[in-house]
Chain A
Amino acid sequence: MLRIPCPHCGARDEVEFIYRGDATVTRPGPDGDVGAFHDYLYLRRNPRGWQVEWWQHNGGCRTFLKVLRHTVTHEVRAVATATETLEVPGA
């Protein structure tokens, strides 16, 4: 069970959060075509290692957070707000 340090609420249990997937994909702008939206909606890297992902603190402040998590060890290394950028180690 993960423990995620919410910048607003402090360290909280995974059960308070909702996972929302890869946070590195960005919604195409108004000019995006079907291909761009297809990739945005369906294509994921599924890395073995570090991934920046969305977690919403659903049972707390409701903020969508960016979380740097290791997909093998589940280590949570860094948490940031939506407008911040998290660097993926070794990327």
Chain B
Amino acid sequence: MSQRFRLPSGGHVDRSKRLSFTFDGRAYDGHHGDTLAAALLANGVRLVGRSFKYHRPRGIFSAGAEEPNALVELRDGARREPNTRATVAELFDGLAATSQNHRGSLAFDWMAVNGLLAPWLGAGFYYKTFMWPASFWERVYEPMIRKAAGLGRASGLPDPDHYEAAHAHCDVLVVGAGAAGLAAARAAGATGARVILAEQDFLLGGDLLNEPGLEVWRQESIAALEAMPEVTLLPRTTVFGFYDQGVLGAVERVADHLPQPPAHTARQRYWTIRAKEVVLATGAHERIIAFPGNDRPGVMLAGAARTYARRYGVRAGETAALFATQDAAYDAAFALAEAGTRIAAIIDPRGDSAAMQRAREAGFTVKPGCVVTGTVGGNALRGVEIGAVGSGGRGDAVPADVLMVSGGWNPAVHLASMSGSALSWDEALLAFVPGAASQHERSAGACRGVNGIGAAAADGAAAGQAAAVAAGFAAAPAITLPEAPAPDHRPYELWEVKGRGKAFVDIQDDVTANDIRLAHREGYSHIEHAKRYTTHAMGTDQGKVGGLVGAAVLAEAREEPVAKVGLPRFRPYTSPVAWGAIAGGEVGQHFQPVRRTALHGVHEALGAVWMDAGIWKRPAYYPKAGDADAWASVKREARAVRERVGVCDVSTLGKIVVEGPDAATFLDRVYANTFSTLQVGRARYGLMLREDGIVFDDGTTTRLGHDRFFVTTTTAQAGPVMQHLEFHLASAWPDLDVSLASVTDQWAAMSIAGPKAREVVAAVVTGLDVSNEAFPFMAVADCLATGVPARLFRISFSGELAYEIAMPAGYAAQVWRAVLAAGAPHGIEPYGVEALGLLRIEKGHVAGSELNGQTTAQDLGLGRMLKKKGDFIGRVLAQRPGMTDPSRPRLVGLRSVDPARQIRAGCHLIVDGRSQGWISSATQSVVDPGWIGLGLLRDGETHIGSVIVAANPLMGEEVPVKVVSPHGYDAENLRVRA
């Protein structure tokens, strides 16, 4: 029979719209306006999952975001979404839902044997049981725990949907659209303030949705808000965090309620909202009572049963019992009775109350001074055991298939607490309420303990108006408020009914009251320690229904008041947020930007193999037909440079113009060597230290004019060097008249290197005599290249005669083509980063692998560059004994004794059986074939000429290497000066 628990009328579901869905493969019907949980209950489905640790049967426990139990998988394939709360998942036609965390069928789970093992699976069992032997952890314990413990399954496939980020600013943000929130938004909106009203539910109204008599006011309020141009309504939007300076984070579920998002529509939207003033109207969460068997399917929060009856027109069962500690919960019994459910008993530890009297008048059996001592049933509740308060043991059983529980109401103080407000204990409500605000926020309604729809609405209206006034708006005339009596929410203090059997304080994480006491006995008595030891309140529900109950059990064990024990710190997220929403659009190719040089298209046309250099794309090498492998290409390119001529795109180097009357003084202070003595039209290699004396960066700096320098940096440090210069100019030497401009993107540059470089350059450049006499090593001059303004540098990184031509980036391609044409008769080859690396290792030039943030100038053989006179960054601290210790690892050259045996960067250098350094860079030589490298070796110079071992324990390699001078190739620099 379809939907046999559905009422013929009433509530906010559209019975004319029938939606089909499946649960564990079985087909059911529901209605538009249902959540999955409501539709399951309408069809009499009670068992919806298995618990985390003991695999106990679990049912639907709540009717909202606080749901600890009914976590299911939605959809299938790439859109499969685990651990979704059935109580907030909107039903749509064709929804496929699956239960989680069981082996075998849901009704008979083999892992339920864990329940029998319970004495070994108590609190802290991960820490204790799986400690020994340590080698078992990765191979045995972890896979076993993962298999046994996880809840849902991720799809394992790329998410086909897209997510987006949005930012909003407003005068007043109202969180929650119950009576208090609606009234707050109306009152604030009436002043003309820009208001955002965010509500996690797909319907606005909160508890108003359970009150048919107040429907007119709810609809009036929504209509009034929709008519205000400055008010934005955000339903399906969960505000999950309250951060500094009025920043709140929210996720809007744009298309979760549809089978799949419409074209060009995001699945979810991640909001960053900046509000001048915030009104928190987040309501309250009903809390459980810990008693044996309080997790059995059929046990649910009293307010949830009431919501299913009134909002969804669904009876939660045939026969219900109510276990309540305060009058406010009694409306659930009346709601279910109206829906046709038999009320078997009302169990209340109190002696008498107004609600109890009304219940008796209505003909209900009321058991004052009583508590529920246990539940009867298997996968579904069949009965409730009742005993006198404090009697212990098992009492009389009353048949019931629904037990409605209400231990009181916890104001939803999560966001208030995150904003910095210290919580205070309300002795009447036995709950924490927000204290004084520390940001521009105020709580209104049930989330600050003002209960009842009429009172909450009035509180909300006042808060909304106050917020708007605080944001600078003039108060507007009062809005109409709903009239409704306020039920008494003050509970009898009852946290736990002690007895035999598991009494859960955290149903999702399978944490019992006994686990909390165990944590206390074992020394984890602070609430934060007990939380981590037991996993109490660490699930997706963050302890919304049982967190305070666990704290109360701990308080009793500590013999201290709950107020003193407190709650664990509230942190974002108040509710689960999908990774997709957090990642937003920054996925795949959009994860980070790509930087391409002005010559990117040219390299692509040449068939370059790309290499990532930070976010730059650089050609690694250019394969040609006939190259046996990548090494063949790299060596061919390097050989061209050594023997003829090559051209390489060096546009990624950082370029900074330093200008001003004090430019030379500034450079003298930021570089370890001197620039004030540099002649105009000349370049000089510069070494930059950090203030702690470690080498920071190197590069060539040119003096373009008396007060104008052109600094180059390594590709990797271009940004950090710029910042370093800006910082010191601002903080240390604001008196220096210097300005800085990054021109990395404006100038493209290419290196033309090799014995034939001069012929090629002479053919491309006009207006400049490039003979060795007129344009010697380290000369720099402006010129024309293919008729466009360019700058020529005679500098070399390869150890060959070499030039760099820099030109405005837009002209780079035409100059490159001219260089290739001019070089063709000489056998020119474009070369990539790999050949560049090969050449500099052969020559013994240091690069990023040697400037690794651990090396000093002395370590790199550059100690003589440190000037003796004048201040510079790093000067003083580079003189510390540990920095100048001669036994520090020093730069050496290395050559594999057997030319065929490869050495790798990262190898340890072993001397007399001990690691004395490492290989920083390795390659194959084209000058003297074989494997060569650079390394840092303790007492490096003393080992030159000797054979040591390069060891790579990861690959089981031990390769004999000869220690040589790093500058073996053309040590006199005759080639670069030719």
Q: For residue A20, which residues in chain B have a CB less than 8 angstroms away from its CB? A: 727
Convert A68-91 into 0s and 1s, putting 1 for each residue whose CB lies closer than 8 angstroms to a CB of B: 000001111000001100000000
Q: For residue A54, which residues in chain B have a CB less than 8 angstroms away from its CB? A: 727, 730-731
Contact of B876 among A23, A37, A58, A62 (CB under 8 A): A37
Contact of A34 among B272, B438, B871, B880 (CB under 8 A): B880
Indicate if the CB atoms of A41 and B730 lie closer than 8 Å.
no
Give A29's nearest chain B residue, CB to CB: B871
B247: interface (CB < 8 Å): yes
B782: interface (CB < 8 Å): no
Q: For residue A27, which residues in chain B have a CB less than 8 angstroms away from its CB? A: 691, 728, 731-732
Indicate if the CB atoms of A1 and B876 lie closer than 8 Å.
no
Interface size of B in residues (CB-CB distance below 8 Å): 24
Q: For residue A2, which residues in chain B have a CB less than 8 angstroms away from its CB? A: 244-245
Indicate if the CB atoms of A64 and B730 lie closer than 8 Å.
yes
Contact of A58 among B723, B730, B732 (CB under 8 A): B723
Q: For residue B272, which residues in chain A have a CB less than 8 angstroms away from its CB? A: 1
A7: interface (CB < 8 Å): no
Indicate if the CB atoms of A83 and B877 lie closer than 8 Å.
no
Indicate if the CB atoms of A1 and B877 lie closer than 8 Å.
no
Convert B708-733 into 0s and 1s, putting 1 for each residue whose CB lies closer than 8 angstroms to a CB of A: 00000000000000010011101110
Q: For residue A75, which residues in chain B have a CB less than 8 angstroms away from its CB? A: 245
Give B877's nearest chain A residue, CB to CB: A37
Interface residues of A in 2-25 (CB under 8 A from B): 2-3, 18, 20, 23
Per the bound structure, the CA–CA distance linking A40 and B438 in Å amounts to 34
Indicate if the CB atoms of B726 and A34 lie closer than 8 Å.
no
A60: interface (CB < 8 Å): no
B930: interface (CB < 8 Å): no
Interface size of A in residues (CB-CB distance below 8 Å): 31
Per the bound structure, the CA–CA distance linking A23 and B731 in Å amounts to 8
Indicate if the CB atoms of A1 and B731 lie closer than 8 Å.
no
B852: interface (CB < 8 Å): no
Per the bound structure, the CA–CA distance linking A23 and B730 in Å amounts to 11
Per the bound structure, the CA–CA distance linking A28 and B731 in Å amounts to 11
Convert B806-847 into 0s and 1s, putting 1 for each residue whose CB lies closer than 8 angstroms to a CB of A: 000000000000000000000000000000000000000000
Indicate if the CB atoms of A73 and B438 lie closer than 8 Å.
yes
Which of A1, A62, A73 neighbours the largest number of chain B CB atoms within 10 Å of its CB? A1
Indicate if the CB atoms of A41 and B726 lie closer than 8 Å.
no
Indicate if the CB atoms of A1 and B244 lie closer than 8 Å.
yes
Indicate if the CB atoms of B247 and A1 lie closer than 8 Å.
yes
Which of A3, A29, A33 neighbours the largest number of chain B CB atoms within 10 Å of its CB? A3
Q: For residue A63, which residues in chain B have a CB less than 8 angstroms away from its CB? A: 730
Interface residues of B in 665-713 (CB under 8 A from A): 691-692
Q: In the complex, how many angstroms separate the beta carbon of B615 from the nearest chain A beta carbon? A: 16
B261: interface (CB < 8 Å): no
Indicate if the CB atoms of B726 and A1 lie closer than 8 Å.
no
Convert B390-424 into 0s and 1s, putting 1 for each residue whose CB lies closer than 8 angstroms to a CB of A: 00000000000000000000000000000010000
B243: interface (CB < 8 Å): yes
Indicate if the CB atoms of A74 and B734 lie closer than 8 Å.
no
Indicate if the CB atoms of B731 and A32 lie closer than 8 Å.
no
B913: interface (CB < 8 Å): no
Q: A2-B245, A41-B691 are in contact. List 14 more A-B contacts (CB 8 A).
A: A1-B245, A3-B274, A23-B731, A26-B732, A30-B870, A33-B876, A34-B879, A37-B691, A40-B691, A54-B727, A56-B723, A74-B244, A74-B245, A83-B734
Interface residues of A (CB under 8 A from B): 1-3, 18, 20, 23, 26-30, 32-34, 36-38, 40-41, 54, 56, 58, 62-64, 73-76, 82-83
Q: List 28 A-B contacts (CB under 8 A).
A: A1-B243, A1-B244, A1-B245, A1-B247, A1-B272, A3-B245, A3-B274, A26-B731, A27-B691, A27-B728, A27-B732, A29-B871, A33-B876, A34-B876, A34-B877, A36-B876, A37-B691, A40-B691, A41-B877, A54-B727, A56-B726, A56-B727, A62-B726, A63-B730, A64-B727, A64-B731, A75-B245, A83-B734
Interface residues of B (CB under 8 A from A): 243-245, 247, 272, 274, 420, 438, 691-692, 723, 726-728, 730-732, 734, 870-871, 876-877, 879-880
Q: What are the nearest 8 A-B pairs in CB distance?
A: A64-B730, A30-B871, A74-B244, A82-B730, A27-B732, A37-B876, A1-B247, A83-B734
